[in-house]
Chain A
Amino acid sequence: MNATSFTAFSSIDDLHAALAAQNYVAERGLSTAIFLALKLGRPLLLEGEAGVGKTEIAKVLTSLLNTDLIRLQCYEGLDISHAVYEWNYTRQMLFMRLAETRGEQASEAQLFGPDFLLKRPLLQAIDPSRSNAPVLLIDELDRSDDEFEAFLLEVLSDFQITVPEIGTVKAKHTPIVILTSNRTREVHDALKRRCLYYWIDYPSFDKELSIVRAKVPQASEQLARQVTGFVQELRRLDLYKLPGVAETLDWITALVTLDQQALHPSIVEETLGVILKYQDDVEKIKGKQSQSILAHVQATR
């Protein structure tokens, strides 16, 4: 574990403040989970609805610890050649040809040497030549399949990978691992048990308002309050897909781009598509429903 960067946070309060300084407004529980992940050197599994800032955590941590972010986006069928390593076949072929022209034959040791190795995210993360621990983000784990999960289980338990042609690669600095899942599928229990777990909920009005202020400072106070209030009201409704914090930020950025100082009926109608991504939901909210929410928000916020 890298001593210099981690001792920067001697307590949960320190980390909490540091996250806030990076414009990331975290719940106390989340700060605790991150703090423990750093101290115990364990992966942190973050679950939550889409757009609540799961991936953002990894980015913020990276800049906080002044290290590298290595990202692995999961998908079905993700295999070793995309997650761990691959040989550079074109170069290997050329090398064999060159050897042939010299009347030699390329040996296996030459062909499968470090020069021809392409390191994919997992191998990059445990590369022993690193001077400090990187942040390894394994994004949307629920999209991968059982085979990859089983492999990951192995990697995350001892942070070493065996490449048959080269030997075993072991991390000198245990990477800080953040796993995210949208729960489109239940992640296997064995993998969950290796990790610290935190469920990120939709933020309260005050939390979300401070996120909006931090991320889009150019928005007027009135607009920020109204947009946040509007989205908070939407989340109480029976919608197929509730808007996340990411949608709130998108919406307010769009409204700022359109030079709006406050919400009014026509602009809400025109920009509903920024926060609602299903036609059924847009139909439902459009018109009367959105006007009444707006009136409510204007009166209370």
Chain B
Amino acid sequence: MMSAPLRPIDYATETAPADARGHLLHNLILFGRLLRGLGLAVNIARVMDVAQALEFVNIGQRADFFYTLRSLMVHRKEDLPIFDQAFKLFWRKYIDEGQVIQFPRAHIRKRTKPVVKAPPLKEQPDNGNSQPNPNQPPVIEVTMTYSEAEILRSKDFAEMSAEELAEVKALIANLVWQLGQRRTRRLHPGRDNLIDLRRTLRKNINFGGDVLHWARRTPKYKPRPLVILADISGSMERYTRLLLNFIYSVSQALKQPVESFVFGTRLTRISRQIDQKEVDVAIKEVGHLVNDWAGGTRIGDSLKTFNFRWGRRVLGHGAIVLIISDGWDRGDVDLLGEEMARLHRNCHRLIWLNPLLGMSDYEPLTRGIQAALQHIDDFMPVHNLVSLEALAEHLAKLGQERGHRRQKFAL
């Protein structure tokens, strides 16, 4: 990416100021381009801002030069280390031609090589048919008879063939998702008993100080934020690919931002990767980012990471949390209980989706799931299309109320 040798000039020894400015601007533009390549939102207007700001700063002072650039070119804490590294490499006297430049890889999108590939399906589905065209609603095979469609809807994802999976993916993309609404503190004209003084006065301006018509306001409703935490450990492997499809289609269907995370032995945020125009691109990027596919599970630790690092940032405004896991946990059970309790206190509704619930003889007896169950609002299956439809219906019906806490199963 930096094949052309970039040699910023040494300002300490530069004597002709007008000439230096020209070089500096040129270098700033190149630097801006480098940052953009690394995924920072830097455009030419930004670079011009920097050039303007540098008029007030002694650019011989490396620290001041550094902070001036940083305060104008970085707007997110996550981007700070990338900037620091890029700055260090770019703004120095000479660049060693042979040196390979290493950037923090996890942050660079699109340019990294996959570390561990996502688990492939048993057989690759026929790519010609399964590729949904974004402009056109996916065409679902209509040659099936009614009963075939029914069978597919209720067949366990884990038992499906590659063709069936491709079909189900198209069906998943068609599901309609809606979340319960949250009453916000913002008011707008309406019919509730909250008086709108501004409009009331306007309406009664001709009555000499008597109020004959009252104008009222009503609270505004907004959809609740959704947070998805999906288990991608070995025991969930058969479901993982489809669940990513599910996460993608939910994220696309909802207008509000959806935060999604996956966990096995550690927690990875995948919201940015999921936010793509094409489902296959999204899933591929997730595959590149995550490196604990099909390994062990430490749900407690992962939830702790979530609660400590992300909870405060993504659980505001009465969020609904979906945990997708079979509950097979190799970590500390007490920790799992504690962190489930914490998560439960901080969200509006906590829903655990368990693919094993689809099995007729399944009982949630593992210690992990026992510890978690008392902190769950809804415990639902997620093993076939019917269960996903049931989930969609359930989410759409969630009202204002929190529901009874410590509720048992909602099968």
Q: Give residues in A with beta carbon < 8 Å to B.
A: 11-12, 28-29, 32-33, 35-36, 39-40, 45, 47, 75-77, 79, 81, 86-87, 89, 92-94, 96-97, 99-100, 105-106, 108, 111, 145, 147, 182-186, 189, 192-193, 195-199, 238, 240, 280
Contacts and interface: CB of A to CB of B under 8 A. Distances in A.
22 contacts: A12-B57, A12-B58, A28-B67, A29-B70, A32-B57, A35-B56, A36-B53, A39-B56, A40-B53, A45-B75, A76-B186, A77-B186, A93-B209, A96-B205, A182-B312, A183-B77, A185-B317, A192-B75, A193-B46, A193-B75, A199-B77, A240-B342
Interface residues of B, number: 42
Contact of A12 (B46, B64, B74, B200): B64
A32 B201 contact: no
Contacts of B49: 40
Contact of A36 (B41, B71, B187, B209): B71
A189 B41 contact: yes
B277 interface: no
Contact of A99 (B68, B184, B198, B208): B208
A89 B215 CA distance: 14
Contacts of B185: 75-77
Nearest first, the 5 closest Cβ-Cβ pairs linking A and B are A77-B185, A100-B208, A97-B209, A32-B67, A96-B209
A196 B71 contact: yes
A199 B53 contact: no
B209 A79 contact: no
Interface string B199-220: 0110001101100000000000
A61 to B, nearest CB: 16
Interface string B204-241: 01101100000000000000000000000000000000
Contacts of A108: 205
Contact of B316 (A36, A184, A198): A184
Interface string B52-94: 1100111001011011101110111100100000000000000
A183 B313 contact: yes
B56 A197 contact: no
Contacts of B72: 36, 196-197
A47 B77 contact: yes
A238 B308 contact: yes
Contacts of A40: 49, 52-53, 56
A45 B77 CA distance: 12
Contacts of A11: 58
A81 B201 contact: no
Given A12-B64, A29-B71, A76 B77 contact: no
A186 B312 CA distance: 11
Contacts of A280: 338, 342
Contact of A240 (B46, B52, B75, B308): B308
A197 B66 CA distance: 13
Contact of B53 (A39, A45, A76): A39
B209 A94 contact: yes
Contacts of B57: 12, 32, 35-36
Interface string B168-200: 000000000000000011110000000001101
Contacts of B184: 76-77, 145
Given A77-B185, A199-B80, A87 B75 contact: no
A195 to B, nearest CB: 8
Contacts of A105: 206, 208
Given A32-B57, A77-B187, A87-B201, A197 B75 contact: yes
B75 A36 contact: no
B130 interface: no
Given A29-B71, A77-B187, A238-B308, 19 more contacts: A28-B67, A29-B67, A32-B68, A32-B71, A35-B56, A36-B53, A76-B184, A89-B197, A89-B198, A96-B208, A97-B209, A100-B208, A182-B312, A184-B313, A184-B316, A185-B316, A197-B72, A199-B77, A280-B338
Contacts of B61: 12
Nearest to B207: A96
Contacts of A33: 67, 71
Nearest to A37: B71
B334 to A, nearest CB: 13
Contacts of B209: 93-94, 96-97, 100
A62 B316 CA distance: 32
A149 to B, nearest CB: 12
Contacts of A94: 209
B204 to A, nearest CB: 8
A11 B55 CA distance: 11
Contacts of B66: 29
A11 B76 CA distance: 26
